[in-house]
Amino acid sequence: MKLLKVDTIASARDKTVNILQNKLLKTECRKLLESQGYILASDIISREPVPAFHRSAVDGYAVISGDTAGSSENLPVFLECVDEIDMGSPALKEIHPGECVYVPTGGMIPPGADAVVMVEYCEAFDSSHVAVYSPVSYGKNVVLAGEDIEQGEIVIKKGTKIRPQEIGAMASLGITEAVVFKPWEITIISTGDELVPPHTTPAPGEIRDINSYSLCAQAQKHGLTVLNTVVQKDDEQKLKEAVIQAMQVSDVVIISGGSSQGKKDATNDIIDEVASEGSFIHGLALKPGKPTIAGYDENSRTLLAGLPGHPVAAMLVFELLVIWVWKHLTDQPADSSLFARITSNLAGAPGKMTCQLVKLIRQENEIHAEPVFGKSGLITTMTRADGYILIDENKEGLKKDEIVEVFYI
């Protein structure tokens, strides 16, 4: 009975990372506007300074700052306006003491000028002179060349999930394609004699299949590609055929259900049979999530993961193991989390890490985490939850008002 040799979630992650190494990582090029949500496969390094020229941060007059010293509402300084810079045009004419040049926001600052007086503090005096009513200091309202980004600077790190601001930054650098990690291609097989498709009305004893839907959506949420979802009766031969077929085209094959100790549980045997390295995880010290199996096949380079049949347990193990490994291998930083105060005492599970769903409640300047209970098969416990907390296997439990770290789900 292999289920007794269970792994902690930490050792299961280590084992999976070690066996996969970087074998399941490929990269691909994506057009900038189609790269959102993908993971950068290398650092983005600037090939040029940004901005490429000294720019004005305001609409105003580019000046030599010293010329404006001592000016005030009552005693303006008069400067000769020798040029007007159009947006997008170069400012080539150097200015000299006593001169100024009109520059719009974002416009290029002419050589010789070292500051810009906002148009609000200036007034046209005659056709060629401007009255300046306020002094400016050196560098005021000027964005220096290279002030945003220096040439050769790492602008965005490998492992970054591309957001709108990264797309904007790449556009500003002239980068129109991003090299990203190719999302794993996944097949999800949901097993069970009791499963019927969602559009049908189940007979007594039957239930609608949830896992092929929820796990598919979960993979997509994390940017992975779902090639196919299959619902399979508990027939060992047919299940094996489905797994072998999926292995030919998939990076990861997920099998949910069929991994507990019941009579028809064949997932472990199948993984041992079809995967060159056999199964290397035979249960997790995790509540819920004990009946978890993982194996690896070197020939087809496929990770095989047998998840619990319970919808909530299946989603949590998928998140804590498969998605975690994907994030780790692609150099993604740790998940964003927050700290909250737990609203009731919670018991841990001896020798097991507990994954407890919580709902976040805002109370003044604090966020409280309220445990969401439900037997693990009940999917609505997850629709009521905003995230989960982990109670360490060595911890007896949590006391009401203790600070906990909450991960979004």
325-346: string of b/e by CB count within 10 Å (b at 16+)?
A: bbbbbbbbeeeeeeebbbbeeb
| Cα–Cα dist 293/273, whole Å | 13
Residue 22 or 201: the one with the smaller Cβ distance to a copy of itself is 201
β-pairing, 387-391 vs 337-342, is unpaired
Q: Give the shortest CB-369-to-a copy of itself separation in angstroms.
A: 12
| Cα–Cα dist 205/197, whole Å | 14
CB of 143 closer than 8 Å to CB of 54:
yes
Listing from the earlier edge strand, what are the strands of the sheet with 99-103?
115-118, 60-63, 99-103, 77-84, 129-132, 122-126
Q: Give the shortest CB-15-to-a copy of itself separation in angstroms.
A: 26
Q: Give the shortest CB-255-to-a copy of itself separation in angstroms.
A: 16
| Cα–Cα dist 336/80, whole Å | 55
Residue 19 or 32: the one with the smaller Cβ distance to a copy of itself is 32
**Distance of alpha carbon 19 from the chain centroid:** 24
If you write DSSP's letter for every residue of 169-183 in order, what string do you get? HHHHTT--EEEEEPP
Q: Give the shortest CB-84-to-a copy of itself separation in angstroms.
A: 9
**Distances in whole angstroms, Cα of residue 307 to Cα of each of 69, 90, 288, 395:** 74, 63, 11, 25
The SS3 assignment for 407 reads strand
Residue 75 or 334: the one with the smaller Cβ distance to a copy of itself is 334
CB of 63 closer than 8 Å to CB of 116:
yes
Radius of gyration of the chain (CA): 31
Residue 96 or 233: the one with the smaller Cβ distance to a copy of itself is 233
Q: Give the shortest CB-103-to-a copy of itself separation in angstroms.
A: 10
Q: Give the shortest CB-53-to-a copy of itself separation in angstroms.
A: 6
Residue with tokens 């509540």: 287
Residue 283 or 311: the one with the smaller Cβ distance to a copy of itself is 311
Residue 19 or 378: the one with the smaller Cβ distance to a copy of itself is 378
Beta bridge partners of 256: 190, 307
Q: Give the shortest CB-396-to-a copy of itself separation in angstroms.
A: 19
| Cα–Cα dist 72/181, whole Å | 58
Residue 50 or 305: the one with the smaller Cβ distance to a copy of itself is 50
Q: Give the shortest CB-61-to-a copy of itself separation in angstroms.
A: 13
| Cα–Cα dist 36/33, whole Å | 7
Residue 29 or 92: the one with the smaller Cβ distance to a copy of itself is 92
